[in-house]
Structure 1
Amino acid sequence: MREAYHVELEQLAVKLAAMSLQVADAMELATKALLETDLSLAEQVISGDSKVDDARADCEEAAYALLALQAPVATDLRTVLAAIHAAESLERMGDLALHVAKAARRRHPEAVLPDDVKPYFTEMGKVAVKLARQAETVIKTKDVEAARTLEADDDQVDDIHKHLFTVIMDKNWPHGVAAAVDVTLLGRFYERFADHAVSVARRMVFVVTGRMPGYGSAEDL
């Protein structure tokens, strides 16, 4: 019975890791749709979002079944609780990729972004996708050191996001209010996507250490 129980725990981790790759792929495609004004890619992300929602429901159903039937304690209990929270964050990451894709579709056939801010979103997109793929590795390995690397990459997205405000607030901004609003919202989508990836990694650190990083020691993530 205990062996079967631990197999179910491992299967739960596999489901979460697969979700992380799903949202990484979604943000990669959404970013390409945004930068290249590609309607077909935007539609692909939009139509695929329900699969991410279904994956979250599947993870939560499995987690709640383990709570109800196995009454886990200690590390096993932390694993199940972390899975519930991580599934929520991953589903939200999928929603944020969806928002990017919808922005690309809404403005089509016009480009959403002025050419002079596209490099910022190219970089944010690369880092965001990297973070989601790193989260997948952390979910599978529960590697605390690997989890810590996400924080530094998340800082890159935060820095670009902050810089975008100086760009659109410049008195010489030539693209008008609508473009400034689009840039502001899209920057926020990427910043939140990255934050959620870090949250997933922190949940895995909690599984290993019993402590949530960011609340205490300077050695925390």
Structure 2
Amino acid sequence: MRSAFREQVGALGTGIAGLCDLSGRAMQHATHALLNADLTVAEEVLGRHEELTYRCAQVETDAFTILALQAPVAGDLRAVLSALKNVADAERMGVLALHVAKIARRRHPRRAVPDEVSCDVADMGRIAVRIGNDVTDVVLNNDSGKAAQLALDDEAMDDLHRHLFTVVIDPDWPHGTAAAVDITLLSRYFERFADHAVDIAGRVIYQSTGAHA
């Protein structure tokens, strides 16, 4: 019974890693669509989101099945409940990528990102993609080094988020209210994407080592 339980919990981890990978790739494609006004890629991100939703539901069902049939307690119970929280975070990462793609689609054929801030937004996108890859590795391999890098990337993302906010509220901002709202939302989407990934990594490392990432 114990061996079967461990296998089931391991399968949950593999499933969550797959969700993180899907969300990371969605953000990569959404960022491309955003910076290049690529409607085709934006539509692909929107169309593929259903797969993430379906796979999240599958992993959640597996976790609830473990709770119902294995009745875990103490540390084992925490492991399953932690997995459920990780599913929710991974799903939210995918939703944030979806929001980025929607802005790209809404502003097409124009680029949603003015030239003055395109480098900052591109940097946020690159960090988000790296974070998506790293959190997948953390979930699969309990990689504490990658978890530490995630925390550093999250700090860099926060710095960019604060910087962009100061740019769009400057009285000399020349692109109007709609563009300011878009940039504020996009910055927030990237920043929250990183936050959810860091939360996942922190739970995985804590569950594995008892130490916070």
TM category, shorter: over 0.9
2:109 counterpart residue number: 109
Look up the equivalent residue of 1:56 and give its one-letter code: C
CA distance in 2, matches of 1:41, 1:78: 39
Match of 1:204 in 2: 204
Amino acid at match of 2:172: N
Report what 1:90 is aligned to: 90
Cα distance in structure 2, aligned partners of 1:142 and 1:114: 39
Superposed displacement of residue 73, structure 1? 3.1
> Within 1, Cα distance between the matches of 2:190 and 2:27?
9
Runs of 4+ in structure 1 deviating by more than 6 angstroms, as ranges, are none
What is the TM-score with the length of structure 1 in the denominator?
0.92
**For the residues of structure 2 that align with 1:203 and 1:161, how far apart are their CA atoms?**
24
Identity of counterpart residues, as a percentage?
Answer: 46
For the residues of structure 1 that align with 2:143 and 2:134, how far apart are their CA atoms?
11
1:123-162 matches, within 5 Å, as: 123-162=123-162
Residues 47-72 of structure 1, C-alpha deviations (whole Å, 9 max, x = no match): 11111111111111111111111122
Gaps of 5+ in 1: 214-220
Measured in 1, the distance between the counterparts of 2:147 and 2:74 equals 21
Displacement of 1:210:
4.5
What CA distance in whole angstroms lies between the structure 1 residues aligned with 2:132 and 2:153?
11
Count of residue pairs the alignment pairs up? 213
Any idea what SS the aligned residue of 1:91 has? helix
Q: CA deviation at 1:101?
A: 0.3
SS of the residue 2:173 aligns to? coil
Q: Deviations over 1:85-123 (max 9, x none)?
A: 000000000000000000010111111111111111111
Contact 1:29 1:41 in 2 (8 A): yes
Q: 1:121 matched to which residue of 2? A: 121
